[in-house]
Amino acid sequence: MKALVTVTHPRKDSLTYAVMDRFVEGLKQNNHEIDLLHLDHDGFDPIYTVNDEKDWMSPDKIYSPEVRKEMDRIAAADTLIYVFPLWQYSVPSMLKAYLDKIWNMGLFGKMGEKKVLWICLTGGDQAHMLKYKREEILTHYLNVLVSGYARVKESKVELLHDTLSESKQHIESLLDRAYQLGLEYK
């Protein structure tokens, strides 16, 4: 299976990147082909312009080369994986810009066979996320509002909780979980 793995974090020495590395390691052990996109470091331009919009009067619209390139990467992949931290109880702005620009109407109806996995790192523990329904809201947003709108085949959110923990054992368990997710991913 060909996996497009997209990571979003400005620091390459972050836990988000470490989780992505371990997940990819598991995917490779599982014999998946990997296409890796670093939104913050690969030159992705998050500015959304009129050229990025769907033209309802022209279904054969030609998108900018940057947008077309990323749409083609999605089209070539069997599965899409996004690894990101939870910021302000949502996706980071760079990922939101990517979703707006690349998952736009140019891909509408063309993602029906795609699977999507959202790996989200949360600073809060699971009890905190559940108490304020933040887990429910985020899962609904990603699985229903984003993935459902794009009509993907399957969408799943995997939350890695308590990422601000000072416990090395806990952080290691999160990295082990990321590896297992990649190893078991089908």
Say which residue, 148 or 121, is predicted with more confidence.
Answer: 121
The answer to whether residue 32 scores a pLDDT higher than 90 is yes
Which domains, from first to last, does the chain contain?
2-184 (3.40.50.360)
pTM for the whole structure: 0.94
pLDDT level of residue 108 (50, 70, 90 thresholds) = low
Residues linked to residue 38 through DSSP beta bridges, in sequence order: 7
Pairing of strands 33-38, 154-160: unpaired
Largest pairwise CA distance in the chain: 56
Mean pLDDT is lowest, of 41-45, 88-92, 107-111, 151-155, for: 107-111
**Could you identify the residue written with the tokens 């992949």?**
77
Q: In this predicted structure, what is the pLDDT of residue 105?
A: 65
Q: Which of 48-57, 74-83, 93-102 has the lowest mean pLDDT?
A: 48-57
| Model pLDDT for residues 57-75, shown as the tens digit of each residue | 777 778 888 888 999 999 9
